[in-house]
Chain A
Amino acid sequence: MLTKRIIPCLDIKDGRTVKGTNFVNLRDAGDPVELGALYAKKGADELVFLDITATVEKRKTLSELVNKIAHHINIPFTVGGGISSVEDVRVLLQNGADKISVNTSAFKNPQLINDLAKEFGSQCVVLAIDTKKEEDGEWYVYLNGGRTKTESKCFDWAKEGVERGAGEILLTSMNHDGTKQGFAIDITKRLSEELPVPVIASGGGGSMQHFEDIFNQANADAALAASIFHFKEIAIPDLKNFLNKQGITMRL
């Protein structure tokens, strides 16, 4: 049976992991390759590397980093952050990325999703959506790392993205991100049950119970988290064993 997936996310700036890590057994906690390899060894099912570098050197450092990751890590990984063209994606895939994620650039130019799916296949195109529930009870799409509100509703944009060829949705709830109070059950459930592609839930995972809830109540295909893994608040093997005992299929 296909398993649910646990995905640690590493934020990268200038080729280094940021947001802090608490692994004393790493020679260099800022080295994304070393940290990624450690997570792979501990049983992570996939990795996401999100590049938040804002310099002009970005493309070169990112493709070099992707190449290094691909050499050292034996599980699939996705690369995101500022990807805006077919050519950007070609370079990352050629350097060994398995999937790429697009966010703001795809919203501004939705044709990009069609172009990427046609050129490289839907299986490597992840549409990342940052969403926030407003007072009117609706989930809206936000851009630029959550700084810019749009008038588009999250479900509508996700559906359009899938119709254009996105093979997976990475859904981050801004209401939940950083709170450690649990994932956004309602919007994740809606996307997961109404769209024909896998949905990765992100934002709010703070306890093992939260992961059980997002899989059992919202039917998410995968759950992504960062700091709880970086700061060793939850160890991946413990989490997967716990979920397995709750009857959720896990790769152990």
Chain B
Amino acid sequence: MVLTIIKYNAGNIQSVLYALERIGVSAVVTDNIEQIQKADKVIFPGVGEASTAMNYLKERKLDEVIKNLKQPVLGICLGLQLMCRYSEENDTECIGLFDEDVRLFKPLPGSNVKVPQIGWNTIYDLKTKLFSSVSDKSYCYFVHGYYASFGKHTIAMTDYVQPYSSALHRDNFYGVQFHPEKSAANGEQIIKNFLSL
């Protein structure tokens, strides 16, 4: 199996590669269009800012490449957000695979809820094989200030400020808001599930 990680101007890409190595899987980190298209599975990771990342992808036509992939694709964190229709982060039009919009967490004044959300939170209402053998209310590691709203593509929910989509799915496209590569045993299970889709 050829597994490709999309390389672009976002952080945290190495961590995904190392997480795959820990479970004995090698991957290629590349921005080469042909290599991405030919892969059996594609991971679209990233931590960073939406508009800068979208501009980078558009300049290299990677947005269209991603949109037209037929093999299983897993977006992680910013990857999930960029696969949505729109992000409030610097008013950014995104790739548009998921209809759900990405909005900034807005805690009520005086609630003492911190933004970004940093740390371990639970995922629930789990759907699809991506979450095979993963218990309801499992803990995963999150680092994000923007969230995808609830919608028809939601396959996992998390509560922070309000309930939101911690995972999305449409056809061959999957996205997770948390970091499976940093989510200990639960994260490893989710990565393994993606690899066996």
Binary A-proximity of B85-110 (CB < 8 A = 1, otherwise 0):
00000000000000000000000000
Once the chains bind, are B15 and A96 in contact (CB under 8 Å)?
Answer: yes
Say whether A167 contacts B120, CB under 8 Å: no
Chain A 175-212 interface 0/1 with B at a Cβ cutoff of 8 Å (1 = within): 00000000000000000110011100000000000000
Q: Which of A194-251 contact B (CB under 8 A)?
A: 196-198, 219, 221-222, 251
**Chain A residues in 8 Å Cβ range of B183:** 74-75
Among the listed B48, B119, B181, B187, which residue makes an inter-chain contact with A2, where contact means beta carbons less than 8 Å apart?
B119
Instruction: Compute the total of residue contacts between A and B using a CB distance below 8 Å.
Output: 86
A152 contacts B by Cβ under 8 Å: no
Q: For chain B, residues 133 to 174, give those with C-beta under 8 angstroms from any C-beta of chain A.
A: 139, 141-145, 159-160
What residue of chain A has the Cβ atom nearest to residue B117's Cβ?
A: A2
By the criterion CB–CB under 8 Å, are A120 and B15 in contact? no
Say whether A251 contacts B114, CB under 8 Å.
no
Task: Give Cα A96 to B188, complex, Å.
Answer: 17
Chain B hits for A168, CB < 8 A: 118
When distances are taken between beta carbons in the complex, the residues of chain B under 8 Å from A122 are: 116
| Smallest CB gap from B184: residue in A | A74
Size bin of chain B's contact surface = 35 or more
Contact residues in B for A167 (Cβ distance below 8 Å): 116, 118
Q: Tell me if A74 and B187 are in contact (CB < 8 A).
A: yes
A2 touches B121 (CB 8 A): yes
For residue A165, give the distance in angstroms from its CB to the closest CB of chain B: 12
A45-B19 contact in complex given A40-B184, A219-B112, C-beta closer than 8 Å: no
CB neighbours of A145 from chain B (8 A):
none
Is A196 a contact of B114 with CB atoms below 8 Å? yes
Contact A121 B11 (CB under 8 A): yes
Give every chain A residue within 8 A of B117 (Cβ-Cβ): 2
Contact residues in A for B116 (Cβ distance below 8 Å): 122-123, 167
Best-buried of B118, B181, B183 by chain A (most CB within 10 Å): B118
State the Cβ distance, B77 to closest chain A Cβ, in Å: 10
- For the complex of A and B, 6 pairs with smallest distance between CB atoms: A251-B139, A251-B120, A3-B120, A123-B143, A2-B121, A76-B182
- Can you report 21 A-B residue pairs in the complex whose CB atoms are below 8 A from each other? A1-B159, A3-B119, A3-B120, A5-B119, A70-B18, A71-B22, A74-B19, A74-B184, A74-B185, A76-B141, A76-B143, A96-B18, A98-B15, A98-B143, A121-B11, A121-B48, A121-B49, A123-B116, A221-B119, A222-B119, A251-B120
Beyond A192-B112, A198-B119, 12 additional pairs, beta carbon < 8 A: A2-B160, A75-B184, A76-B143, A98-B182, A120-B48, A122-B116, A123-B116, A124-B47, A196-B114, A196-B115, A198-B114, A219-B112
Residues of A within 8 A of B (CB): 1-3, 5, 40, 45, 70-72, 74-76, 93-96, 98, 120-124, 167-168, 192-193, 196-198, 219, 221-222, 251
